[in-house]
Structure 1
Amino acid sequence: MRAATLALGLALLGASGLSHAQDTRASATDDTSIRPYHAHVPDKALADLKRRIADTRWPDKETVDDDSQGTQLAKVQALVQYWGKGYDWRKFEAQLNKLPQFVTTIDGVDIYFIHVRSKNPNALPLILTHGWPGSPIEFLKTIDPLVNPTAHGGKAEDAFDVVIPAIPGYGFSGKPKGTGWGPDRVAKAWDTLMHRLGYTRYVSQGGDHGSVISDALARQAPAGLLGIHLNMPATIPPELVKPIFGGDPAPAGLAPDEKRAFDSLSMFFGRNAAYGAMMVTRPQTIGYPLADSPAGEAAWMYEKFVQWADNRGHPDGVLSRDEMLDDISLYWLTNTSASASRFYWENNNNNFSSEAQKTREIKVPVAITVFPYEIYRAPKSWAQRAYPSLYYFHEADKGGHFAAWEQPQLFVEELRAAFKSLR
């Protein structure tokens, strides 16, 4: 068991020795214009989805009374059957099309993004980056509170201009045709995007992949980046990486919050991180079943909604069936499961390790909010050590991995507080 866990950890650390060829040359033929975007999925694609759902061949039921063998059959069947007979993609599509959506080409890849400007001329530009199995959908409920704070308990000076891009290979963004689209390249693309929109100063926020990309952006420290906010920071101290991956007992001397974080991470990498190892090492292989089976796609993503949200195992309380299916449908209808998984292959790293993410190189101001049902609760002592420029740290009282999606008002309040001194 310990050897297997260590092997998994080494794969996530990038110790497999993979060398990803990179071509970071900007395309001389890029169309730098910003084009309006209107989401519309053909009727044929929706009919095909319903047909495939109706023809699902289900596995036999698990032999336990919990989810220790994976997502339970009855729960997935209920979700997928509703997807086929009750869910309405067109309703969500109409909601999306009420927002200003755009596409621009950066480094040869079309980047989809939502861009909402505040009426406040002094609004602070903010770029929000999603993760997996998320998408820009994670942030939709935060848009109006961010751009129109006085209508949501804030002050006029709390206003933000909001930019929400989809990572290349995700959702309506283009799929890279070659390698090299890891966090550093995406971070450079985000800076290009913000300057292309006319912003000379801005802040960045992210969780999951978004935290890794925000870290990369902060290391690059382009002109105009004022600071970053993270809700899944990379704080594991270097000396604890191998013990956590190896399944060793917690070393003596850890403070209570450090011991709690150590135990959470050991459990995660020991029992729940195989999905990541698969995408790090075999994104193409996992793409075949996910591209062919709606039930497979739904189960693959639903498991993480159940495990990672502040829902005590019942996601319908914090994320509705329709909200989850909006996101699952976006992956299915854009056929992006394989291309989204390739970001893991490109990153090929441990997103929780301060050493792997080189966080100590960051000089720009860093703010962190810890949500209690995140994969692990980063201790303040680890955060201070990992991010020397940390200036804001707060532990929220509710919320999980999908913080903006689960607790939009709380998330917005955290951003207002975190970035107040940087305006």
Structure 2
Amino acid sequence: MMKKWKIERSKEAEDTIRSHITTHFFDPQTLAFGLADSPVATAAWIWERRRNWSDNTGDVEQSFTREHLCTTASLYWCTESIGSSLRLYHEHFKKPWPLAHNQLPRLEAPTGIAVFPKDVVHFPPLKNLKEYTNLQHYTVMPEGGHFAAAEKPELATHDIQKFFRRCVKALSVSCLRPQEAHRYENLKPLSISPNVLIPIAPAVNLTLTPSVIAAKRQN
């Protein structure tokens, strides 16, 4: 069952998110002409979402500095990319990504999820996440909204680091000799499928093939 606070937040954000998705899905190009014609319109559209979708009491500068807001708007304006960002909704919903397979879990890679209380879209109940993902790490944050990485960078960064540390340690345990494994009895083994790509740092990826896993266990 979904937590009460999630239901309350979903009701609170319902009108805002409905209008956002509806406009982006049905009329993205019409809106794009207006926003692409005015830097003020582009900034207003972006800032309004930062205000409504972040953890504040009505003042967007409680969550983001004015410099951050101006920089974000400038990225869209100077690159003339506000139109393509709107069309993404239409193109995604019109032709969703096909499933890679029909097995469970759908998402086989080790998965970490952080839930921020003022987000406008919340994940399903935890029991469903465990069924459909290879869930290794789950955190309910004390604060933060939809743009959490920019709004609460310390919280987000710490949680990502914690998740990846757990993945690396669990990977090491899964490759230990049986006589060494007892040292890590309290650490949950990491479920790994062959040829899974595991990110172990922002710019580093580790690909595990059957031969690599076997070699690690032998050494």
TM-score (norm: length of structure 1): 0.35
Q: 1:400 aligns with which of 127, 138, 145?
A: 145
Q: Distance in 2 between matches of 1:263 and 1:382?
A: 20
Aligned counterpart, 1:279: 24
* AA aligned opposite 1:268: A
Aligned counterpart, 1:361: 106
1:363 is paired with a residue whose SS is: strand
Does residue 371 (structure 1) correspond to residue 116 (structure 2)? The answer is: yes
Fraction of identical pairs, as percent: 28
2:146 is paired with a residue whose SS is: coil
Query: Does structure 2 retain, via aligned residues, the 8 Å contact 1:367–1:418?
Result: yes
Aligned counterpart, 2:130: 384
Name the structure with the higher helix share. 2
Q: Distance in 2 between matches of 1:270 and 1:374?
A: 14
Aligned counterpart, 1:290: 35
* AA aligned opposite 1:402: F
Q: Distance in 2 between matches of 1:318 and 1:275?
A: 20
Q: Distance in 2 between matches of 1:403 and 1:329?
A: 20
2:108 is paired with a residue whose SS is: coil
1:394 is paired with a residue whose SS is: strand
What is the CA-CA distance between 1:285 and the residue it aligns to?
0.9
TM-score (norm: length of structure 2): 0.65
Aligned ranges 1:161-180 → 2 under 5 Å:
none
Distance 1:398 1:267, change over 3 A: closer
2:29 is paired with a residue whose SS is: helix
Query: Does structure 1 retain, via aligned residues, the 8 Å contact 2:6–2:117?
Result: no
Q: 1:334 aligns with which of 79, 94, 110?
A: 79
Q: Distance in 2 between matches of 1:388 and 1:367?
A: 9
What is the CA-CA distance between 1:325 and the residue it aligns to?
0.7
Aligned counterpart, 1:346: 91
Distance 1:271 1:330, change over 3 A: closer
Aligned counterpart, 1:19: none
* Unpaired runs of at least 5, structure 1: 1-253
Query: Does structure 2 retain, via aligned residues, the 8 Å contact 1:261–1:376?
Result: no
* Unpaired runs of at least 5, structure 2: 169-219
The structure whose RCO (Cα within 8 Å, separation 6+) is larger is: 1
State the number of aligned residues: 161
1:262 is paired with a residue whose SS is: helix
Distance 1:299 1:343, change over 3 A: same
Query: Does structure 1 retain, via aligned residues, the 8 Å contact 2:109–2:134?
Result: yes
Distance 1:422 1:319, change over 3 A: same
Query: Does structure 1 retain, via aligned residues, the 8 Å contact 2:54–2:146?
Result: yes
Distance 1:311 1:269, change over 3 A: closer
What is the CA-CA distance between 1:304 and the residue it aligns to?
0.6
Aligned counterpart, 2:192: none
Does residue 415 (structure 1) correspond to residue 167 (structure 2)? The answer is: no
* AA aligned opposite 2:137: Y
* AA aligned opposite 1:406: E
Q: Distance in 2 between matches of 1:369 and 1:347?
A: 24
Query: Does structure 1 retain, via aligned residues, the 8 Å contact 2:54–2:144?
Result: yes
Q: Distance in 2 between matches of 1:264 and 1:403?
A: 16
